[in-house]
Amino acid sequence: MPTVVSGIRSTGNLHLGNYFGAVKNFIEMQHHHDTYFFIADLHSLTTHPVPQHLYGNVKQVLAEYLACGIDPEKATVFIQSDVPEVSELYLLMNMNAYLGELERTTSFKDKARQQPDNVNAGLLTYPVLMAADIIIHKANLVPVGKDQEQNLEMSRTFARRFNRMYNVELFPIPRPYVFEGQDMVKIPGLDGSGKMGKSEGNAISLADAPSVIRKKVMKAVTDSGPTEPNQQKPEVIQNLFTLLDVVSTPDVVAHFDLEYNQCSIRYGDLKKQLAEDIVKFTDPIRLRIEALLADDVYLSKVAKLGAEKARASASKTLQEVREVIGVKKFY
Ligand code: TYM
């Protein structure tokens, strides 16, 4: 059975991009695969979160994951820092990751630009930790959104390099997972360009109240409207249609598409419909998040069970890696 690993940073609430880019796919996969889903709290340290916030963020994301439908009885759900074997593999893999390739990573260059006063080594070696997360469970498939394509390509490089260096077939080469016939997903933000992101201020969170969602959607950037029938949609408008595509029914999308093509579209109507369809989708999840957040006993039970299962798998691989490298005990 193929093994699947995916994760999410604990830097903020889960948003629609996270859901449709990654979580949705792995919810479906948990029924037929050996699945590991985790909260990357160590990765989030690259941005220096306040210690008091870190724990709360992890708890929030854990509740959100479960509220989406990830079933801890089927999948192994855990917190990255509960599995110290990952940190050791990260250290070992760092020895075969080269400065030039790490510096060229787009996400590193972006982050270095965003936080010029905090260009730390953790940011540089972020893809190595991500590779360790994935290969420690010998994953074959990784459901991620388009923005993680390059990081995943680096995981493939590191896995391949390790196998080649030591002339072993220890690690499968992990592939990004998308449903057949689909491309990797990129959910746009509400600000007219780029992707929906936690730090971009353009996201709709699964935990947002309906009134907040309505306000955010009504403020989404548009243009002055089509001037010719059947003209191509500019990015700002295409973005709204992309969101409509994931939350609305095909006939709703077709209706607004036709109105756009006939130049009779009223963006206010489109936004109202989009907001209601998002609310219809997120509201049951939001209510489940609230219930889960109030159940500390259940959350800690899930985290403990997940940590045990993840450690069992991780320590087995780590032992094999140590032997291959030649790190052996004298006692
Ligand atoms: P993170 O926390 O930024 O995002 C979690 C997942 O959500 C996807 N995603 C999106 N997909 C489509 N459209 C968007 N606008 C959008 N925004 C986010 C991401 O692609 C990702 O799949 N480095 C990872 C966390 C990580 C990880 C791993 C993932 C650490 N180790 C191992 C997979 C396997 C990250 O920062 O994701």
Task: Report pLDDT digits (tens) over 153-205.
Answer: 999 999 999 999 999 999 999 999 987 778 899 999 999 878 999 877 899 99
Residues 36 and 166 in one domain: yes
Phi/psi at 266 (5° precision): -115, 115
Q: Are residues 60 and 180 in the same domain?
A: yes
Residue 138 burial (CB count, 10 A):
18
- Mean pLDDT, range 64-68, rounded to an integer: 98
Is 321 found in the same domain as 266?
no
User: ∠ at Cα 162 (159, 104), nearest 5°?
Assistant: 65
Write the CATH number for 51: 3.40.50.620
How much is the average pLDDT of 98-109?
96
Mean pLDDT of all residues in 64-80: 97
**Ranges 101-115, 135-149, 172-186: which has the least confidence:** 172-186
Q: Are residues 280 and 320 in the same domain?
A: no
Measure the CA–CA gap between 68 and 63, rounded to whole angstroms: 9
CA of 319 to the centre of ligand 1 (A): 28
| Pair 35, 4: CB distance under 8 Å | yes
Per-residue confidence (pLDDT) for residue 195, from 0 to 100: 93
Task: Give the mean pLDDT of 274-288.
Answer: 98
Asked if residue 130 and residue 214 are part of one domain, the reply reads: no
Measured over the CA atoms of residue 11, residue 17, residue 19 and residue 25, the dihedral's sign is negative
- What are the tokens at 60? 């929030």
What would the mean pLDDT of 130-144 be, rounded to a whole number? 98
Mean pLDDT of the chain: 96
Give yes or no: residues 216 and 246 share one domain: yes
Q: Which band of pLDDT confidence, cut at 50, 70 and 90, is reported for residue 252?
A: very high
Would residue 95 count as lying in a domain? yes
The pick from 47, 147, 153, 195 for probing ligand 1's pocket by mutation, whose C-beta has the most ligand atoms within 8 angstroms, reads 147
pLDDT tens digit sequence for 31-47: 999 999 999 999 999 99
pTM: 0.96
What's the gap in Å between 148 CA and the centre of ligand 1? 6
Ligand 1 atom closest to residue 185's alpha carbon, by position in its atom list = 12
Please state the domain count of the chain.
Answer: 2
CA 256–ligand 1 middle distance (angstroms):
30
Q: Residue 296: what pLDDT?
A: 98
Structural domain harbouring 38? 3-185+296-325
Which pLDDT score is estimated for 326?
97
Q: Would you say residue 307 has pLDDT above 80?
A: yes
Tell me, what's the pLDDT at 168? 98
Question: Is the model more confident about 26 or about 91?
Answer: 91
Which atom of ligand 1 is nearest to 22's Cα? 22
Distance (angstroms) between ligand 1 centre and the Cα of 19 equals 10
The mean pLDDT of 247-273, rounded to a whole number, is 98
Go through 81-115 and write b for each residue having 16 or more CB atoms within 10 A of its CB, e for each that does not. Answer: bbbebbebbbebbbeebeeeebeebebbeebbeee
Both 284 and 300 in a single domain? no
Helix (H, G, I), strand (E, B) or coil at 190: coil
- The ligand 1 site (C-beta within 6 Å) comprises 5-9, 17-18, 21-22, 40, 43, 130, 133-134, 142, 144-148, 151, 185-187, 195-197
Residues 157 and 175 in one domain: yes
- Per-residue pLDDT tens over the stretch 11-29: 889 999 999 999 999 999 9
**Pairing between β-strand 141-142 and β-strand 34-40 as defined by DSSP bridges:** unpaired
pLDDT at residue number 179: 78
| Predicted confidence (pLDDT) at residue 276 exceeds the cutoff of 80 | yes
Are 160 and 55 within one domain? yes
Average pLDDT on 78-85 reads: 98
Q: Which residue has the tokens 């936690």?
A: 198
pLDDT over 90 for what percent of the chain?
93
**pLDDT top residue among 309 and 181:** 309
Residue from 77, 144, 154, 191 to probe ligand 1 pocket by mutation (most atoms less than 8 Å from CB)? 144
Residues of the chain with pLDDT > 70: what percent? Answer: 100
Mean pLDDT of 284-312: 98
Atom number of ligand 1 nearest to Cα 143: 22
pLDDT for the residue numbered 198: 84
- Output the CA 137–ligand 1 centroid distance in Å: 18
Tokens for 314? 């991780």
Asked if 150 and 131 sit in the same domain, the reply is yes
Do 229 and 280 fall within a single domain? yes
